[in-house]
Structure 1
Amino acid sequence: MKYPITLLLLTFIYATLPGHAQKFINSGTVEYEVRINIRKGLEAEDDMWSRALMDKMPQFSVNYYSYAFKDNKGIYKFDRTGDRQKISSWITGVEEENVWYNDYATNKYANLITIDNYNIVEGDLKKIKWKLSPSESTVIAGFNCRKASAILFDSVYIFAYYTEEIPVTGGPMGVHGLPGLILGLTVPRLYTSWIATSLKLDVSAPVAPPSKGKKVTDSFVINALKEYGKRWTGGNKYANTLIWRTFL
């Protein structure tokens, strides 16, 4: 009778070791540190307006977002800022009330986008053609992660690090489609990076789509973003950046 008991005990210890217990994580809340290189973005624009702001802005803007995942769904939203001075959302792209909700089982999304009002945009999650680089890896928040890359909006490169130890095919905003949760993300054209700083194994609130706001189409939002850009700059120069920040 000793052998079955010993085997059961060894099985329990093996299952609870780090790297094995993690494979069963299918719900939790990730905190991402989102770092934006403001000065690099202003330097790239290289116009009178950007140069006037250069000396008034810090090098980086740092904000924190939460991503709750449960039942093959995810919801990503602003949590708090780490900036010491107030920086316009026009510069950072940080709209504190925006929400990104994704249902990976049905391949649908429902986002809350605040442009003059509360607007809900619904649709199919975009198909992302990932190129995996399994030989390139790193550790983020204690999890082994592998690298992948893709191109969005025809010309915007994104680089992601995902962990197969958390079998959720999601991550920040609408980025998805990898064989594990995205814990690191870089978008050079936006001079922005996302890095997971912690994972809590509890989801206190239901992971549900936003309900506050009127339903509009993505075309409506894109046109509104273009008009919003004109108000600030008198032209379409920043329209693409606004669209990428919103529909990433």
Structure 2
Amino acid sequence: MKKLILTVISSLFCTALFAQANAHFTTSGKIEYEKRVNMYAVIKKRLGNDDNGFASQAFDNYKKNQPQFKTLKSTLTFTNNKTSFTPAPVETVSNNWFGDMPESHQDNIIYTDFDTQVSTSSKKVFEEQFLVKDTVRKINWKITDETREIAGYTCRRANALIMDSIYVVAFYSDEIPVSGGPESFTGLPGMILGLALPHDNITWFATSVTDVTVPEAQLTIPKKGKATTYKGLETTLKKVMKDWGTWGQSYLKIFLL
């Protein structure tokens, strides 16, 4: 019996080593993301108790002429523990006020070096461009046992709270052992392929992952904009928006994501 037990253990150990040796990990490639914003929910929440006849009529007209969800595309290129997040150009430009809300945009270009833990972001705030260089944001993730498949990869769920009030749900895959993700969401033991801000009605989900060798020179490093740090940008925006009430708080949150 003892010999049989040792044989079984040895077999299981060899099987595990074989599986590990043959496991495929994507360390370089491109990820296509789709950002979806529930504009009806965002606008309704933004109007809140400030709703009046004019705003209500404008919202009704928006719903008659615009889809509930706005969709935006982006690409995350990664190699050598570095990532570059770049939004795709928008094909059509909104000609109404609701469609021009910050939530409906995707302007940030973000380069992250996980070896140095430094991130460089080009952020557009209304008509001004900022170049934010700072350490990578620290997020206190809580990993769960829930899993789901995204773009052909098995992903595990993690939850977090950022900026004191923004609840974040992420799905990451350790088959892509790079601690990156869309926008500035990072810090998990694998690539984030799905991300949701449930209370803010915004999601990012990978639609495809291309496993291909990417020369590091192809990663976009932002260079244009007024140089600042994350704290410097926060101070500037708070000063500008101090009299904007709840609208200013909402804008501040979006611009600092």
TM-score (norm 1): 0.80
How far apart are the structure 2 equivalents of 1:90 and 1:224?
20
Say if 1:155 and 1:133 are closer, same or farther in 2 by CA, change over 3 A: same
Match of residue 160 from structure 1: 170
Counterpart of 1:31, as a letter, is E
Match of residue 256 from structure 2: 247
Match of residue 128 from structure 2: 117
Higher radius of gyration, 1 or 2: 2
Aligned partners of 1:145 and 1:163 also within 8 Å: yes
Say if 1:216 and 1:168 are closer, same or farther in 2 by CA, change over 3 A: same
How far apart are the structure 2 equivalents of 1:243 and 1:75?
24
Say if 2:219 is the partner of 1:207.
yes
How far apart are the structure 1 equivalents of 2:95 and 2:112?
30
CA deviation profile, 1:201-242 (whole Å, cap 9, x unmatched): 343652242112231233443355456658xxx723223332
Describe how 1:164-243 pairs up with structure 2 within 5 A: 164-202=174-212, 203=214, 206-226=218-238, 235-243=244-252
Aligned partners of 2:27 and 2:80 also within 8 Å: yes
Q: Following TM superposition, by how much is the alpha carbon of 1:63 offset from its aligned partner in structure 2, in angstroms?
A: 0.6
Describe how 1:1-248 pairs up with structure 2 within 5 A: 15=22, 20-21=23-24, 23=25, 25-45=26-46, 46=48, 47-48=50-51, 51-55=56-60, 56-57=62-63, 58-81=67-90, 88-96=99-107, 98-115=108-125, 116-134=127-145, 136-202=146-212, 203=214, 206-226=218-238, 235-248=244-257
Give the secondary structure class of the aligned counterpart of 1:238. helix
How far apart are the structure 2 equivalents of 1:72 and 1:83?
34
Structure with higher helix content: 2
Aligned partners of 1:132 and 1:148 also within 8 Å: yes
Q: Following TM superposition, by how much is the alpha carbon of 1:104 offset from its aligned partner in structure 2, in angstroms?
A: 1.2
Q: Following TM superposition, by how much is the alpha carbon of 1:52 offset from its aligned partner in structure 2, in angstroms?
A: 4.1
How far apart are the structure 2 equivalents of 1:220 and 1:152?
18
Aligned partners of 2:37 and 2:104 also within 8 Å: no
Counterpart of 2:205, as a letter, is I
Q: Which runs of 5+ in 1 are unaligned?
A: 1-10
CA RMSD of aligned residues (A): 2.6
How far apart are the structure 1 equivalents of 2:143 and 2:148?
14
Aligned partners of 1:43 and 1:51 also within 8 Å: no
Counterpart of 1:181, as a letter, is M
